[in-house]
């Protein structure tokens, strides 16, 4: 359980650290930052920074003009979504059914860490000393005839 608690604290700390930088980029977006978050409608799978299509160049000019006009990142994205649809965004929105795309990997990590912690705990308990019965001379328990034979062989080897 300590592992799950530690991973939860680490996750919370990283979310808080990223949220501060996200708020700063929201107020003062950059063209290079938005180019990586917007997909070119005529170049499937390519973001604006990867595309040199005429439409991508026009979209870059539009973004630059909106930044100069003082629009926030979300306002610019909303205008692009209104014109080209939600597929223009490189990452899905964090609301509605699309929220599952963001939450399921995190849930999977937490569940996986919990399963690993339980399995590691079970494995370490089964490996504790005293789990196997000890025979003569502190050796692990053997069948009596095998132990006698081993003692004879060791005595012959030593002698």
**Structural domain contains residue 153:** no
Q: In b/e form, how buried is each residue of 28-58, taking b as 16+ CB within 10 angstroms?
A: ebeeeebbebbbbbeeeeebbbebeeeebee
Instruction: Write down how long the chain is.
Output: 159
**pLDDT value for 61:** 94
CATH of the domain at 95: 1.10.8.640
Whether the model pTM is above 0.85: no
Q: In b/e form, how buried is each residue of 125-136, taking b as 16+ CB within 10 angstroms?
A: eeeeeeeeeeee
What's the structural domain count of the chain?
A: 1
**Structural domain contains residue 121:** no
**pLDDT value for 22:** 47
With contact defined as beta carbons under 8 Å apart, do 11 and 65 qualify? no
**Percent with pLDDT over 70 in the chain:** 70
**pLDDT value for 133:** 52
**Structural domain contains residue 68:** yes
């Amino acid at each position: 359980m300590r592992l799950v608690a530690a991973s939860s604290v680490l996750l919370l700390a990283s979310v808080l650290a990223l949220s501060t930088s996200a708020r700063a980029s929201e107020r003062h977006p950059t063209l290079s930052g938005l180019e990586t978050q917007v997909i070119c409608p005529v170049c499937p799978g390519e973001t604006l920074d990867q595309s040199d299509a005429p439409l991508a160049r026009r979209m870059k000019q539009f973004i630059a003009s909106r930044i100069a006009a003082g629009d926030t990142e979300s306002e610019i994205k909303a205008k692009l979504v209104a014109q080209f649809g939600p597929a223009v965004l490189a990452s899905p929105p964090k609301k509605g059914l699309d929220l599952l795309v963001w939450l399921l990997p995190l849930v999977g990590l937490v569940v996986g860490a919990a399963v690993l912690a339980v399995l590691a705990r079970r494995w370490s308990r089964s490996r504790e000393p005293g789990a196997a019965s000890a025979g003569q001379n502190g050796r692990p328990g053997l069948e009596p005839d095998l132990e006698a034979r081993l003692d004879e062989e060791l005595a012959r080897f030593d002698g």
